Amino acid sequence: MTERTLSIIKPDATARNLTGKINSFFEEAGLRIVAQKRLRLTLDQAQAFYAVHAERSFYNELCEYMVSGPVVVQVLEGENAIVRNREIMGATNPANADEGTIRKAVGKDVQENSVHGSDSPENAAKEISFFFSEIEIAG
């Protein structure tokens, strides 16, 4: 089943000029980048995007980190793209991520873990529409 998922290259990765390196993980795994833009989130936007984590102890710190530099938001498309992207990203904590994953290769720690990926079809649809209109996505 062809799906779309929302990916974010986070501030720790844009700061280290890793956008192209991270994109090559997606492309080599067969996912297509069908929309992409670089922007700076406002604190309001970061809080809204991560509203599902509002009760977690790390929420404020996470939102501050997500506005600390530019991010690259993107739509990835491909076979089972949502689960596939989670596999390509690796575990949340880079220390637990498998060899060959983005977080193992470039993640710094459990917070500064370089990438975000949607975790379900429902969240993928919500997160894609948070950043993109249909006219901006060319599959």
CB closer to Mg ion, 53 vs 138: 53
- Do residues 102 and 122 touch, judged by C-beta distance below 8 A? no
Using the contact rule CB under 6 A, the part of the chain among 11-19, 30-38, 109-117, 126-134 near ligand ADP is 109-117
Query: Hey, what are 130's tokens?
Result: 């948070």
Distance of closest approach, residue 87 Cβ to ligand ADP, in angstroms: 12
Alpha-carbon distances, residue 29 vs 2, 26, 60, 75 (angstroms): 14, 5, 33, 15
Alpha-carbon distances, residue 63 vs 47, 49, 67, 97, 114 (angstroms): 6, 9, 7, 23, 14
Distance of closest approach, residue 88 Cβ to Mg ion, in angstroms: 14
CB closer to ligand ADP, 32 vs 50: 50
Question: Is residue 113 close enough to count as binding ligand ADP by CB under 6 A?
Answer: yes
Of positions 105, 110, 125, 137, contacts ligand ADP by CB under 6 A: 110
Which residues are the active-site residues?
116
